[in-house]
Amino acid sequence: MELKNKTVLVTGSTDGVGRVVAERLGAAGARVLVHGRDEGRGKATVAAIEAKGGRAEFLVADLASLAEARRLAEAVRERTDRLDILINNAGVGTGGQGAKRQVSADGHELRFAVNYLAGFLLTSELLPLLKKSAPARIVNVASAGQQAIDFDDVMLTRGYSGVRAYCQSKLAQILFTIDLAEQLKGSGVTVNALHPASYMDTTMVRQAGVTPWSSVETGADAILNLASSSALEGRSGLYFDGQRESRADAQAYDEKARRRLRALSLELTGYSSAASRKQHP
């Protein structure tokens, strides 16, 4: 995909791999909608893109709140009449050893809420714009760290660990990717997920107490491959490990599990079944 004059939203793009992706998109001629929670970092990212001749705008939202995820979608719709690429990159890490269970503004387990649920809602809200802009792409930045969703205790009220919560939320992204790809057949919109690189040199990894051993540049290469590679034109519902097509945890390929997650997600976000049918005729 030619990136010049394309409009791209990158969530979580004021730091780490998201910022590198945003800066590279700007350098390639795309109009970049930068997202983050911190206005200072957001303005700095926009300034860095503009200093190299790129175009960027900053949209602030805390994706620990579903209301703010909706507000972010509305801000995108107000600023542009097209969206060529959506990169769902924002996330919360494992929190390291001894991470305590936290909840979102809506009372949901924090990692499930930020890493998965907010992206589910934001994507659902922006699908009409993506379809209007087809061919368009959705890239979900997941992880090789995956754990099957326990549908009897999705919010992990028993036996909590930050690692388990993180891995479950990342697998949920992949189930969503495959499920959405089925719904989007024939629309001109593709959706794929990836593990960008292992233990990149990011704030998230350092906060987990892990010594980084991959660069954010390597991760950005993998994300941009899914966003723009001509080899992926029309291909959808895939999971990549870096730039190599791979297989996710077995639950991702369980149609019943994907249906259960979809129903739960619609319920938790308040995104009605009627709205879902309208978005996915």
Choosing from 166, 199, 253, 271, which is the catalytic residue?
166
Closest of 118, 142, 141 to residue 62, by C-alpha: 118
Residue 210: how many other CB atoms lie within 10 Å: 14
| 253 catalytic per annotation | no
Which residues, in sequence order, are CB contacts of 95 under 8 Å at separation 6+? 162, 166, 207, 208
- At 73, the amino acid letter reads A
Distance CA 73, CA 83 (A): 11
Active site residues: 166
